[in-house]
Chains A and B, each alone.
Chain A
């Protein structure tokens, strides 16, 4: 494997990181909306978001990417591979993050909401100033755990022709006939990103557990 081939892998890595970042950031924004709707106390909103979450948790990510890619094409929306994949990951991430954060919001003791209400804080301030800062802290280990899953999940984007790290590996491997070496490098690159995140998540989890004792 020569320098330009390795560089090609790094380009794939760049797209993996980029796709993960898009999915995570856009998924976070809509996931927050879903978590808030899920805990809103407004029946139809709660049921609609519960259905959305169930749908995305109950089907494989690969199916979701297929449906977005081919489904949108079917209704006449021919999107770039990368755009359709970004939409797919955003939807996927929003459902999982929405569910993680719903749990965290509900894990904040009820007395916090009551104290905030008794102080006449409105919904926005109650959420922004009181509940979410605590909920996000509670959710961090699970959120980071999901991010790691998401990064690894981007390898599925190869299926619709998106050249991220895994697909870059396949291409180089086919050129060099050294699959073991190439996929060893590819694996190491995934590991270099995911392992520190996992470590960090584990540390946060231990710290949270210690604080709640």
Chain B
């Protein structure tokens, strides 16, 4: 269950009037979004609706052309120092894990803290071991990513991001590339993270996860936010036709 006490009113992320184009194709249209500290957002919508692009704007993996994004009080502008500073506070987990295949699990976890935060190896390794333990994979610390299952790799990816001690975690369909039997171990890890009060934006179609941890569910279509509501209201009483159609397509499995 979501603990409302952990969500304070200070916004961790605000997006105001954000517009983005790929060439002449407008991929994001007038995005307005405010995420409070400790809040958990689930972002859903049909494929191609701009979900990935939206969260990738927050850590500037994608530039945006209009509007304003503020992360942790810092306004995101085209400045290498500012972008780096924001990326230090924002962790991201990808659909394809994107672990570094030539480095062991432990080396994957200590690289960024050492290089980007200037933390000494011993300390970085201690933190990495603690977080690998938390995602229940400490016993694989000296293996290479290719030796792990998909679910294990994704948990390592979560630990790697946490090693930077981010204030926000972005998840881009973290379970979509997994075999069904591995989805749960990753979702459980994410639930644990949510329970510890992490601010999270999760692009996912795991509606059970949304019901369990989300403070708000946001539905996107064609690059715009169509509807947002608490999970209860979102699932039982969707207001827009497109939301109903989308839910009709992904929910009837049970």
Chain B CB within 8 A of A137 CB: yes
Q: Are B112 and A120 in contact (CB under 8 A)?
A: yes
Q: Are A129 and B92 in contact (CB under 8 A)?
A: no
* B91 CB, nearest partner CB in chain A, Å: 7
Set B84, B96, B98: member contacting A120, Cβ < 8 A: B84
Contacts A111-B94, A111-B96: A119 and B61 contacting too (C-beta < 8 A)?
Answer: no
B16 surroundings in chain A (CB, below 8 A): none
* Contacts between chains A and B (CB distance < 8 A), count: 60
Set A114, A117, A119: member contacting B111, Cβ < 8 A: A119
A9 to B87 CA separation, bound complex (whole angstroms): 60
A124, closest chain B residue (CB)? B115
* B195 CB, nearest partner CB in chain A, Å: 24
A129 to B110 CA separation, bound complex (whole angstroms): 12
Label chain B's interface by main secondary structure. Answer: mixed
Interface centre among A114, A115, A129, A130 (most CB of B within 10 A): A115
Per the 8 Å Cβ criterion, residues 94-141 of A in contact with B are 109, 111-112, 114-122, 125, 129-130, 133-134, 137
Q: Are B98 and A121 in contact (CB under 8 A)?
A: no
Q: Are B116 and A115 in contact (CB under 8 A)?
A: no
Interface centre among A111, A118, A133 (most CB of B within 10 A): A118
Q: Are A119 and B102 in contact (CB under 8 A)?
A: no
Per the 8 Å Cβ criterion, residues 81-95 of B in contact with A are 84-85, 87-88, 90-92, 94
Q: Are B94 and A120 in contact (CB under 8 A)?
A: no
Chain A CB within 8 A of B18 CB: no
Q: Are A112 and B116 in contact (CB under 8 A)?
A: no
A115, closest chain B residue (CB)? B98
A110, closest chain B residue (CB)? B98
A118 surroundings in chain B (CB, below 8 A): 59, 61, 87, 90-92, 94, 161
A118 to B166 CA separation, bound complex (whole angstroms): 11
Contacts A120-B84, A134-B102, A137-B102: A114 and B115 contacting too (C-beta < 8 A)?
Answer: no
B96 surroundings in chain A (CB, below 8 A): 111
Chain A CB within 8 A of B194 CB: no
Query: What size tier do the contact residues of chain B reach?
Result: 20 to 34
A178 to B101 CA separation, bound complex (whole angstroms): 56
Contacts A125-B115, A130-B100: A119 and B94 contacting too (C-beta < 8 A)?
Answer: no
Interface centre among B88, B96, B115, B160 (most CB of A within 10 A): B115
Contact with A along B94-127 (1 / 0, CB 8 A): 1010111110000000011001100000000000
Set A112, A119, A121, A130: member contacting B161, Cβ < 8 A: A119
A136, closest chain B residue (CB)? B102
Q: Are A129 and B98 in contact (CB under 8 A)?
A: no
* B118 CB, nearest partner CB in chain A, Å: 12
Contacts A118-B91, A118-B92, A129-B115: A112 and B84 contacting too (C-beta < 8 A)?
Answer: no
A116 surroundings in chain B (CB, below 8 A): 100
B61 surroundings in chain A (CB, below 8 A): 114, 117-118
A138 to B109 CA separation, bound complex (whole angstroms): 24
B164, closest chain A residue (CB)? A119
B112, closest chain A residue (CB)? A119
A122 to B88 CA separation, bound complex (whole angstroms): 11
B87 surroundings in chain A (CB, below 8 A): 117-120
Contact with B along A179-202 (1 / 0, CB 8 A): 000000000000000000000000
Supplied contacts A120-B116, A133-B102, A137-B102, 17 more A-B pairs, CB within 8 Å: A111-B96, A114-B94, A117-B61, A118-B59, A118-B61, A118-B90, A118-B91, A118-B92, A119-B87, A119-B161, A120-B87, A121-B111, A122-B84, A125-B111, A125-B115, A125-B116, A134-B101
The 10 A-B residue pairs with the shortest CB-CB distance, nearest first, are A120-B87, A115-B98, A119-B112, A111-B98, A118-B92, A125-B115, A120-B88, A120-B116, A133-B102, A120-B84
Provide 5 A-B residue pairs closer than 8 Å at the C-beta atoms, listed in order of the A residue.
Answer: A120-B88, A120-B164, A122-B115, A125-B115, A129-B111
